[in-house]
Structure 1
Amino acid sequence: MDLELNGKRALVTGSSSGIGAATAKLLGAEGARVMVHGRGAERAKAVAQSIIDAGGQASYVLGDLSNEAVCTDVAKQVLEEFGGIDILVNNAGGSAAAHRPDTTAEVFNRAWLDTPWDDWRWTYEQNVGSSVRLIQAFAPGMIERGWGRIINMSSAAATQTEPDLADYQPAKAAITNMTSGLAKSLSGTGITVNSVTPGTIATEGVRAGFVEWAKQLGWTELDWPTIERRFTHEVIPQPTKHFGRPIDIARMVAFLASPQASYMTGANYRVDGGQCRSIN
């Protein structure tokens, strides 16, 4: 299927690795001009270069989007280079503890009552604050041109909560909620707004985390196929019996970003292998 993305301008936040990188590469392969975003120059540049090497068009921009001033500057740089964007993928996210270089397992799994408000604030700024600011920066141009796509990355944790993860789950719930409201606010403008909810996606970081978890469980076979099979059967049961890959999410994002998805807005799309127990 031709997604009709040739010439569209896209910003994918948090796209120097994982889901974001897969999304940026797929959009580039479909003909979009892609702005890769990350915190580190080496990885962001590498993703942009891979798009160029494959025959696409790409640039990259750097900045910590949890910081309001930096986020504003990132938006300014994108506008100066691209002159506006047609597709905004708000993929940057995560929790405060997970982004600390010195985080231990105990801190990462901190109990709800022990999670400091500073963590709540950082996680909300990273997930919701950055998305809101970028939407406000780029949506006016989309309105003026009469076409646009805004895709926000949510999480299964937004609707299927687990113990603790105190700061992360509410932030992702806010993403899902604001997507629906924004879609209604932009009614009749030619802009669609949707969220995507990934299940467990086997990125490099996730794989490393599951290997450590398997060690804690006392497992002795630590090759990835065995770990994936045991987790999806015994620990995190799901119908597909395997975890997702970044390209699984990228395909959904690319479709929602295309003119083919013009009748889809205000919705949350699960790509989770049936992990979530609710209907939606």
Structure 2
Amino acid sequence: MDLELTGKRALVTGSSSGIGAAIVRMLAAEGAVVMVHGRDEAKTRAVAQGLVDQGANASYVTGELSQEEDCARVAERALEVLGGVDILVNNAGGMAAVNRPDTKAETFNRPWLETPWDDWRWTYEQNVGSTVRLIQALAPGMIERGFGRIINISSASATQTEPDLADYQPAKAAITNLTSGLAKSLGGTGVTVNSVTPGTIATEGVRSGFVEWARQLGWGTPEWAEIERRFTTEVIPQPTKHFGRPEDIARMVAFLASPQAGYMTGSNYRVDGGVCRSIN
């Protein structure tokens, strides 16, 4: 299937590694003109250069999207370099305990009652604030041209909560909710808005974390295939007995970004191996 993405201009936030990098590579492979975004300039530039070396039209921009000024600068840079943005993928996210530059916890999952409000504020700014600001900056151009795709990366924890994760789960719930409302607000403009909910995706960081978890569980040092099988059977049961790959998310995003998906808006698409227990 030709996704008709040749020449479409895409900004993918948080695309210097992991899921975001897979998304930007997939869009570039389909012929889109892409802008890579990240916090670390060397990593972000390397992803963009790798795409250029493969013949893609790629550029990059850096910025800390929890900061209002950086959001504005990233949007301005995208408009300046690309001449407009047809596809906005809001992938940058994370939670304060892991990602906040000025303070990090010893554990990623602070107890709910011990999560300071400053962490809530940072996580909301990083997830919700950046999404809202970039949409408000870039959607008007999409409306003017009569075509646009806004794709927000959510989380299973938006609807299927776990203990603690106090600041992260509500922020992702807001992402899923605003996606539905915005789709209705932009009805008839040619701009669609959808969210994608990944399951456990075996990025490099996730793999190393599960290897350590397996060690703590007394499993020794089994091969990755055995780690996946045991976790998805014994610890995080799901119908597919393996975790996802970044490309699984990228394929869904690429389809939603295409003109082929013009009848799909206001929805949340789960790519999670069936781990979520509810129907919707």
- Normalised to the residue count of structure 1, the TM-score between the two structures is 0.97
Task: Mark the runs of 5 or more structure 1 residues left unpaired by the alignment.
Answer: none
What is the match of residue 267 of structure 2? 267
Alignment partners' CA distance in 2, 1:140 and 1:100: 31
Alignment of 1:94-105 (within 5 A): 94-100=94-100, 103-105=104-106
Question: What's the CA shift for 1:44?
Answer: 0.9
Contact 2:215 2:221 in 1 (8 A): no
| Structure 2 letter corresponding to 1:133 | R
What is the match of residue 244 of structure 1? 244
Task: Mark the runs of 5 or more structure 2 residues left unpaired by the alignment.
Answer: none
Spell out, residue by residue over 1:88-129, the C-alpha distance to the aligned partner (whole angstroms, 9 max, x if none). 000000100111577454x31211111000110000000000
Question: What's the CA shift for 1:223?
Answer: 2.9
Alignment partners' CA distance in 1, 2:233 and 2:104: 29
What is the match of residue 5 of structure 2? 5
- Normalised to the residue count of structure 2, the TM-score between the two structures is 0.97
What is the match of residue 40 of structure 1? 40
What is the match of residue 207 of structure 1? 207
| Structure 2 letter corresponding to 1:188 | G
> Would you say 1:122 and 2:131 are equivalent positions?
no
What is the match of residue 64 of structure 1? 64
DSSP-derived class of the 2:77 partner: helix
What is the match of residue 157 of structure 2? 157
> Would you say 1:15 and 2:5 are equivalent positions?
no
> Would you say 1:253 and 2:253 are equivalent positions?
yes
Alignment partners' CA distance in 2, 1:87 and 1:74: 14
What is the match of residue 135 of structure 2? 135
The change in CA–CA distance for 1:192 and 1:153 in structure 2 (over 3 A counts) is same
What is the match of residue 194 of structure 2? 194
Spell out, residue by residue over 1:45-104, the C-alpha distance to the aligned partner (whole angstroms, 9 max, x if none). 111122212221100000000001111111111111111100000000010011157745
List 4+ stretches of structure 1 deviating above 6 A: none
Contact 1:94 1:123 in 2 (8 A): yes
Aligned length: 279
What is the match of residue 90 of structure 2? 90
| Structure 2 letter corresponding to 1:225 | A
Contact 2:148 2:191 in 1 (8 A): yes
| Structure 1 letter corresponding to 2:181 | G
Alignment partners' CA distance in 2, 1:210 and 1:104: 19
Alignment partners' CA distance in 2, 1:52 and 1:2: 22
Question: What's the CA shift for 1:251?
Answer: 0.1
| Structure 2 letter corresponding to 1:46 | A
What is the match of residue 216 of structure 2? 216
Identity of aligned residues (%): 77
Out of 94-103 and 222-231, give the one that drifted further.
94-103
Contact 1:29 1:54 in 2 (8 A): no
Question: What's the CA shift for 1:153?
Answer: 0.3
DSSP-derived class of the 1:231 partner: helix
Out of 87-96 and 67-76, give the one that drifted further.
67-76
Alignment partners' CA distance in 2, 1:120 and 1:222: 37
Out of 223-232 and 5-14, give the one that drifted further.
223-232
Spell out, residue by residue over 1:140-183, the C-alpha distance to the aligned partner (whole angstroms, 9 max, x if none). 00010000000000000000000000000000000000000000
RMSD of Structure 2 on Structure 1 (CA): 1.1
The change in CA–CA distance for 1:104 and 1:133 in structure 2 (over 3 A counts) is closer
